[in-house]
Amino acid sequence: MSHSGFRVVARFCDGQIVRGHTSDFRPGRATFAVTPPNEASVRVLVDELKALFFVKSLDGNPRHIHDNGFSEEPKVGRRVWVTFQDGEQLAGRAPSVNPENEGFFLFPNDWESNLERAWIVLRSTKSVLYDEDAVEAARQYQPKGPPPSVKHVAPDEWDLMLGFEPPSLKLDGEEQSSPRRRTPPRARPDSGIFLGDW
């Protein structure tokens, strides 16, 4: 945690992405604020989120291919395999999963990745597998790397590559910029644009 909060990447169900810092996210709260670098805070509704990713760096490493295997497992929590509604898959350990809650924290298996932990919003998932079922899903998983034609996509270009533009928005009486999609939501990790390790 820095003086301005945890570094996070908020991924929305409609494909929008907001990167910045948050200091008021709490499980069970309906909203929290994300402050993008050099911009005013944006209020985020948890109901609109796919997941909130707590990251080591907002820049990340787009060339890193996330390892979803269970070879080097942390000792705490259940093995979990998450498949989101948009097809993205993520493996890790969850200290506690209660289907009656709106979400749960997932700690990644890949300690080399930029991801420290993620708050998974249950309504954005297609399925959640546990223990041996999670291990079997990991065995069948085929990671997708960068297409040969994509050498490197800088983080500040990801929104444009995926079809976002920053329109004007009025929040709390101030005009702000927020990512908005130019085309219908279809952004997926396997769409040909490799986001890598953000």
Domain count, the chain: 1
What pLDDT digit, counting tens, does each position of 114-138 carry?
A: 999 999 999 999 999 999 999 999 8
Asked whether residue 1 is domain-assigned, the answer is no
**Does residue 75 belong to any structural domain of this protein?**
no
Residue 107 lies in a domain: no
The CATH number assigned to the domain holding 173 equals: 2.30.30
Q: Which residues of 47-59 are buried (b: 16+ CB within 10 A; e: fewer)?
A: eebbbbbbbeebe
- The Cα–Cα gap between 190 and 175 comes to 34
Give the structural domain span for 155.
Answer: 6-61+148-181
Q: Is the CB of residue 83 less than 8 Å from the CB of residue 41?
A: no
Cα dihedral sign, 151-181-17-36: positive
Question: Is 114 domain-assigned?
Answer: no
pLDDT for position 143: 65
- The reply to whether 37 falls in a domain is yes
pTM over the 0.85 mark: no
Q: What is the mean pLDDT of residues 29-57?
A: 95
